[in-house]
Structure 1
Amino acid sequence: MLKDKLSTEISKIFKNYLKEKYNLELLVFAEEPPNLKFGDICFSFPLKISRDLKEKPFEIAKKISNELSDLFFPHKLFPASPGYINIFFDKNYFVNSLKDFEEEKERKKEKIIVEHTNINPNKAAHIGHLRNAILGDTIVNFYRHLNYNVEVHNYIDNTGVQVADVVLGLLYLEKKGLEFLDIEKLDYYTWDLYSKVSKIIEEDKSYLNLRNEILKKIEEGIEPEKSYAKKLSERMMLCHLKTMERLDIKYDVLPKESEILNSKLWDKTFSLLKEKKAILFEEEGKRKGCWVLPLKGKEEFKTEEEPDKILVRSNGTVTYTGKDIAYQLWKFGILKASFGFKPFYKYKDGKIVYESTSEKSENDFPFGNGDLVINVIDIRQSYLQKVVKEALKLLGYDKESENSIHFSYEMVVLSEKLAKQMGFEELKISGRKGVGIKADDFIDSLIE
């Protein structure tokens, strides 16, 4: 994307400047500011070189900003305490770049995969999910306008703890049978149930153990948890698709987390990680029995207190990040999956969205094999997205790592007035706490 391309060019300028001016070899990279009021991107390297230069970090940032301001024109550099260089991009630069893209769009043949929305299939969509879907759909429309081959993914985490929480509530606490999942407005019912179960688990840790047992049964395909989770997820998927269709947001394929496991795609990924010696088995300490991706000492993870990431827990279950790495490898066509696809839902305009299935398809569907992968995920997932990029790099796929783009965004927060009107004590949206505005209710209010 334009922002990532520009960020890379600016990083190279800073790197060359430090080499020529101070004879310093340093890995320089752009970071996402915690708030857009601080800039579009920022750099923290003045903090790292202050000891070498025997100057205060802020003075270094100020000096470099002044010396390079003309070179960076029309973009603006601002030093910030304690030693950051914040950069605001010139908006006209992007407008002109779009014009250049227009002139070259006939030459675009790369395939771009855009993954967005990704709502946990356990409750109704809320306005935070709408932000993700609208941003993702905007990116899709932008690239399609430029004649790129764009494939839209909506990843379904149908084996995660959120689904396990609702299965615990319906199957264990309320003793609801499978037929209960056919009720209307199931997504609204489980919205309230999910927050209720979350509170129960918080107050009584014995339910946490039960939730973990349910989660393991879902992953291992043990009944009745397997069928209950499957039907629950499918009902939620349908609710979410219909909600987004109201805004003309559509998808090409719904890859499901269960297929990452059932199709042996994770097994292939696990074998590859071990073969390339990209992961370590912890034999002692608090991570004893876990398979870990070692990231300590890597430049981009120096600010993390515990940079190493567990991919396989000591009980044998795979973490979200492990499955995300497998999924990313498949999206680039590095690993071939043995799962197939079948129609899941037909939109009003006749377009069909497909879901992944553990059974091989008769037809050869052209999903995956992207040249560029854009994941639209909120800013809280920045660390995990960096882990996925680094995992590809450790496996030797530098190009694919470079072409893994995290399009991040800030969270939706309710105003104090609105939160008070709705009886919420918190401003941050949290499905787990039942705090938020359901997407369909919001769309209804706009229509009215």
Structure 2
Amino acid sequence: MDPLKPPKEEFTRVLSELARELGLGEVPEVERTRRFGFFSARFHKYRVDPRRLAEAVEVFKSRRFDYLTGLSVEGLYVNVDVDVSKVGELVFDAVAKMGRKYGFSEECSGGSFLVEHTSANPIHPLHIGHGRNAILGDSLARLLKFCGNKVETHFYVDDCGVQVMYAAIGYEAVREEVGKLAERAKPDLVVGQIYSATNAVAEVGRLRRELEKASDDEKKREILAQIDEWMAVLRRLLDGEREIISKIVERLGQRDVAGEAVELNRRYELGEPDARRVVREVVDLVLKGQRETLARLGIEIDKWDYESEIAVWSGEAARVVSELQRRWPQYVENKGGAVVFRADKFVEDFQLWDVLDLPKFIPPVTLTRSDGTTLYVTRDVAYALWQTRQGFDKVIRVVSTEQTHEQAHVRIILYALGHEDAARRVIHYAYEMVNLPGAKMSARRGQYISLDEILDEAAERSASLVKERNPEVSGIIAERVGVGSVRYAFLSTGPRKPIEFRWDAVLNLRQNSGTFLQYTYVRAYSILEKAQVIGRTPVPGGILPEERDLILKVAEWPSVVRESARSLRPDYVAEFLDGLALVFNSYYEKAPVLKAEEPVRSFRLALVNAVKTVLEAGFYILGIPILTKM
């Protein structure tokens, strides 16, 4: 149900005849253009004489077309416009038949997908950077589902590693005090403070031991400055949950926390019951809080995959190492007891850059520490192998560009293990970071802007903004406006571009924001609610330029969805909806709908309904809440 398919096919037939007339071996591709016409085709690469091309096109100008008009030649471009009245009829027919599924076409479906996203460390709340990951991953899944694909979303619970052990040790030290906070504080926020305090205590202890061994005065001054930095972290944390943080300092201050964390990690990887109890309790507390945050954004995860179960206790990570040693001993080195894979040499010898879409620089990768415990990348290879065995055509891993080399290592090692097809089916969906002007972030130091804080402020600012127009706005509406604004802010920029998060842009009521789109939808909904009945009528003559633009914009929607799905770019949807809303709001201010005379009234109602339908479909893909009043 693509309204532009019939005119495009008709133009393709014209091009096919032209190609035969000119003796070309292929038919030029149809392109969407705004320079000379609606559709265009370039003949440059065929070295056609422009005069001969113009003569060949001249023959078609007297022909009557079903959907085309204004066939012309500009140099080596053949251009054509479309009959807006005919396309309008196709649009209204498709919208009536498809409803909110308008935009779907067989061309946008591409198989089955496992989408792994968010996968934040279970040691603190989701922060603003995780927000971009979660929203991107969720909208990718929504886009692919809209196109009729089988999609399953996964969250990789990284419950191994020394950092998780810091959280577990700190939590165990103040378990009783944490229980008293359960009713008034989100568990992920509390654990996040515990983790940062425990980490600070561990660093202070480590630095004091270094200070005792240092003999050089300059080295001592350097260590003392670092100790001061970590003590400042503790003082700042004490301004929050003073009772808990002071207890952590009191109970852990004389212990070798860093050494205990390494030992607890070793025991946890071995699956010892006591270690499992301590670690899992704190991990699941954090996940509970993270689930609540995701729910505010309308995000549901299908499967929660624990790293310990899939990669460690199963023995898969250890098998990855032993199999690499068996297959490629010439690329595996032992450095002080640690196992290192020379991925750099392997890629060079097998020329894998283009095969696996790798960055130009590939470093060696350490697979195990000297104590035999595995590193994150080793466990990630085991997880990737598990993912590719779940029966999906593609595995999309939404992971920041900071992990470009690590994700490249995953694909290289899969290839080296003989899983060449799996290596090609794993897609690293990279995205850049979010910058919040004036904010410095470090989870280890407890410095981050939590996603809940962003959503709270978005709701508060939305309430103030919307109340200027509607004093009776509710908290629920403000929350939904805030969610829509935040989601759109993270989706309106291409994933490979950094985002500077500014509230004046995020809540802009005039353009390029979720708030602007929601406000546009409310306008369309209000018109149709008052009309009650939406009739069907042919497109009348003498329509306004904005009506022509709206018809063609709505007609483009299936091709936008198709290209977004093929390119895995939800930002194409965001950009399109913003353009549609700009045209519609200009039209809203200029053309009366309900007071228009028939048949114009019925036509305009059908046009408003088409715009509303596209907005509904786009809101589903972007995860923007639908509001009927603001």
Question: If the TM-score is normalised by the length of the shorter chain, which range does it land in?
Answer: 0.5 to 0.7
1:147 and 2:151 matched: no
Name the CA shift for 1:271/1:435 in 2 (closer, same or farther; >3 Å).
same
**Contact 1:116 1:132 (C-alpha < 8 Å) held by counterparts:** yes
Q: Which has the higher contact order (CA 8 A, sep 6+)?
A: 2
What TM-score results when the alignment is normalised by the length of structure 1? 0.61
2:167 match: 166
Q: Secondary structure at the match of 2:423?
A: helix
Name the CA shift for 1:247/1:313 in 2 (closer, same or farther; >3 Å).
same
The alpha carbon displacement at 1:225 in A equals 3.0
Q: How does 1:8-19 map to 2 (within 5 A)?
A: none
What amino acid sits opposite 2:324 in the alignment?
L
Q: Distance in 1 between matches of 2:399 and 2:359?
A: 22
Of 337, 340, 352 in structure 2, the residue corresponding to residue 292 of structure 1 is: 340
2:133 match: 132
Q: Secondary structure at the match of 1:169?
A: helix
Which range moves more in the overlay, 129-138 or 436-445? 436-445
Q: How does 1:324-363 map to 2 (within 5 A)?
A: 324-333=380-389
2:312 match: 261
1:58 match: none
Of 380, 392, 395 in structure 1, the residue corresponding to residue 417 of structure 2 is: 395
1:438 match: 450
Of 104, 107, 117 in structure 2, the residue corresponding to residue 104 of structure 1 is: 107
Unmatched segments (≥5 aa) in structure 2: 1-43, 46-101, 207-255, 461-630
2:323 match: 272
Name the CA shift for 1:314/1:137 in 2 (closer, same or farther; >3 Å).
same
- Deviations along 1:150-189, one digit per CA (max 9) or x if unpaired, are 1111000112222211122222xx3535984982422121
1:385 and 2:423 matched: no
Name the CA shift for 1:182/1:222 in 2 (closer, same or farther; >3 Å).
farther
What TM-score results when the alignment is normalised by the length of structure 2? 0.44
The alpha carbon displacement at 1:146 in A equals 1.4
2:290 match: 240
Name the CA shift for 1:279/1:143 in 2 (closer, same or farther; >3 Å).
farther
2:577 match: none
Q: Distance in 2 between matches of 1:191 and 1:290?
A: 31
The alpha carbon displacement at 1:406 in A equals 0.9
Name the CA shift for 1:144/1:327 in 2 (closer, same or farther; >3 Å).
same
Q: How does 1:67-82 map to 2 (within 5 A)?
A: none
Question: Between Structure 1 and Structure 2, whose CA radius of gyration is higher?
Answer: 2
1:212 match: 262
Q: Distance in 1 between matches of 2:319 and 2:388?
A: 15
Name the CA shift for 1:303/1:223 in 2 (closer, same or farther; >3 Å).
same
Q: Distance in 2 between matches of 1:175 and 1:220?
A: 25
Unmatched segments (≥5 aa) in structure 1: 1-69, 72-98, 334-367, 420-426
The alpha carbon displacement at 1:224 in A equals 3.2
Q: Distance in 2 between matches of 1:268 and 1:202?
A: 34
- Deviations along 1:117-172, one digit per CA (max 9) or x if unpaired, are 0011112111111111001111111111111111111000112222211122222x
Q: Distance in 1 between matches of 2:375 and 2:369?
A: 7
- Deviations along 1:270-326, one digit per CA (max 9) or x if unpaired, are 44333432785534xxx222222211333558965x811111222110110111001
Q: Distance in 1 between matches of 2:359 and 2:319?
A: 30
Q: Secondary structure at the match of 2:391?
A: coil
Q: Distance in 2 between matches of 1:315 and 1:209?
A: 12
**Contact 1:282 1:288 (C-alpha < 8 Å) held by counterparts:** no
More helix by share: 2
Q: Distance in 1 between matches of 2:359 and 2:105?
A: 40
2:182 match: 183
